[in-house]
Structure formats: C-alpha cells, structure tokens
C-alpha cells in the first residue's frame, strides 16, 4: 500500500480550521508595494491583513503563488519521509496559475504527484483536502480518492457579496468595465464561483444589506430538502456573521454552520468585509 501525502494551497484556508497537521500547505505570497512580501498566514494572518487594508485602502496588495523551488523542496522532503505518492489540491485553475505550475514542477521529482483542480477556493477546497486525508488514512488509493474529490467538486456552490469591487478589478478577477460601472453606481453584486471555476456576477444589487439577503435567498432556495455541509467564509466581516447564522438556523434548525476566515491571499482579491455562504451536497 502506497503512502500518500495530501497537500493543499493556502487559498483553502486550512490554517483557520482544526486540520491534521500532516496535510502540507503550499503558501502563496502577499505583496505590498515593491519591498514587502509575506507568506500567507505565517507572515501575516487574516485579522492583521484585513485591518491593514481597511486602514489604507489605497495600498492594494498583490499575490503570487508558491515558488518552484519551494514546491520541489516540499516534494523532496515527502520522499525522504517515505511517501510514494501525493495529491495536491489547488485553487481553481481559472483563478491562478498554481495548478499548471505544480504539474510542471512535479515532473522534476521522483515522487508520483497527482494535481487536482478544485475549481473553487476557501472552505470547499479545504473540505476536499480533509476528505482526501481521511480516505488516504483509511488506505484508499489515489485512484479511489479522486472520484470522491470530483463528486465534491461537482456538488458545491458558494454565493458571496463584496463591500467593494476595487480589489477584484485591480487584481484582474473582474473586467475593468464591470468594476468601473459598479463603483459608479455603488453596486454590491452577488457573485459566485461558477462551474468553470471563474468569478461570475449573479445579480447586481444596490446595497450590501440587499446583497446579503439575496445570498441567503439563493442558499435557501437551492438547499431545501438536501443534506449539505454549510459554511460561511468571510473577510473579517464579524458584524454580518450572526445575522447569516440566524437566518440559516431559522430555515434549517438542524444544520450546523462552519465559519472560517478567507485567508489574506484570497482577501487580497475580495477586499475587507466580503462574505460568502456556501454548501456542499453530501
């Protein structure tokens, strides 16, 4: 039986969850200006990051994925620890070049590396990593684990609202035209990660409160009668979380809700106070 390592990128936000520490995290980097760079979570955590960009909204951070040298170092260390195979779960390939980069660099090592494109980010990606780790611990092979990850990938959705479009536009996740119009009209659109793994506009709404209401309506409409894992991912949006939890509890009293931070490398694109409600069909 092969010893299988599980890796995820820091976009999954595992650091803010209770996770098995033998899941390795490929940490992206957050850049401010030309001379400040921080490894995600290790160099700057979510609370510190969101307070910084809230206090200085003109200092727009940039992000980059983990360096090729660091990737190869991780793989070589796993080999030394006796691992024969690895599954690397990445942020959507439509939102980052990490998926292709891991595939390229995996060719440089002896470890047999399988790269899995989550087509999402945040908690849904973290859930994939946790499930892959569980199955590997039960002795499942890579070939047996991958269909389970594909099922999660095909059965999750997240709707979110952002307080400002500035960060999505500046970091290239929305077109400049969409962003300019949204800023002019002070729109607070409801967004989703679509089936292709892209950020897509669902509806254009005028206030953040109405955007939040629409996020809840979409979640309730789509999960009636289903067995789902429910989660809230947020960019230091503490003032909104209780309302969302109360609304979910009203509609579905039996459901538990996982609440987790959007880690800085994701928050660099959403900006502060973004909040998403997502579900994974079980």
For 59, counting Cβ atoms within 10 Å of its Cβ (0-12 exposed, 13-18 middle, 19+ buried), the class is: exposed
What's the distance, Cα to Cα, between the start and end of the chain in Å? 28
Q: Note the pLDDT tens digit of each residue in 155-212.
A: 999 999 998 888 887 776 665 556 565 554 477 889 999 999 999 989 989 899 999 9
Q: Note the pLDDT tens digit of each residue in 18-39.
A: 999 999 999 999 999 999 999 9
pTM for this model (two decimals):
0.95
Give residue 260's Cα distance to chain centre. 10
- Domain layout of the chain by residue ranges: 4-28+65-154, 156-281
CATH topology of domain 4-28+65-154: Rossmann fold (3.40.50)
124: which residues sit within 8 A by CB, 6+ positions away? Answer: 118, 152, 156, 158, 231, 278, 280
CATH topology of domain 156-281: Hypothetical Protein Tm841; Chain: A;domain 3 (3.30.1180)
CB 64 within 8 A of CB 28: yes
For 204, counting Cβ atoms within 10 Å of its Cβ (0-12 exposed, 13-18 middle, 19+ buried), the class is: middle
Question: What is the 3-state secondary structure of 262-276?
Answer: CCHHHHHHHCCCCEE
- Residue 192 has φ and ψ, to the nearest 5°, of -145, 160
Residue 194: how many CB atoms within 10 A of its CB?
A: 16
């Amino acid at each position: 039986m092969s010893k299988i390592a599980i890796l995820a990128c820091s976009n999954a936000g595992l650091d803010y969850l209770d996770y098995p520490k033998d899941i390795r995290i490929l940490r992206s980097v957050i850049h401010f200006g030309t001379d400040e760079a921080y490894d995600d979570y290790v160099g700057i955590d979510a609370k510190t990051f969101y307070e910084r960009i809230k206090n200085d909204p003109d200092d727009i951070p940039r992000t980059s994925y983990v360096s090729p040298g660091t990737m190869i170092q991780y793989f070589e260390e796993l080999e030394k620890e006796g691992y024969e195979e690895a599954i690397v779960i990445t942020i959507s390939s439509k939102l980052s070049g990490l998926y292709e980069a891991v595939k390229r660099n995996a060719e440089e090592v002896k470890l047999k590396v399988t790269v899995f494109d989550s087509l999402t980010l945040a908690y849904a990606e973290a859930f994939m990593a946790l499930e892959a780790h569980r199955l590997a611990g039960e002795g499942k092979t890579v070939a047996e684990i991958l269909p389970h990850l594909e099922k999660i990938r095909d059965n999750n959705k997240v709707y979110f609202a952002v307080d400002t479009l500035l960060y999505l536009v500046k970091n290239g996740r929305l077109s400049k035209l969409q962003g300019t119009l949204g800023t002019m009209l002070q729109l607070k659109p409801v967004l989703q990660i679509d089936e292709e793994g892209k950020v897509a506009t669902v509806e254009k709404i005028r206030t953040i409160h109405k955007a939040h209401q629409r996020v809840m309506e979409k979640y309730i409409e789509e999960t009636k009668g289903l067995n789902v894992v429910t989660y809230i991912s947020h960019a230091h949006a503490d003032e909104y979380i209780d309302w969302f939890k109360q609304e979910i509890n009203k509609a579905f009293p039996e459901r538990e809700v996982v609440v987790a931070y959007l880690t800085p490398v994701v928050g660099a694109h959403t900006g502060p106070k973004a909040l998403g409600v997502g579900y994974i069909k079980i």
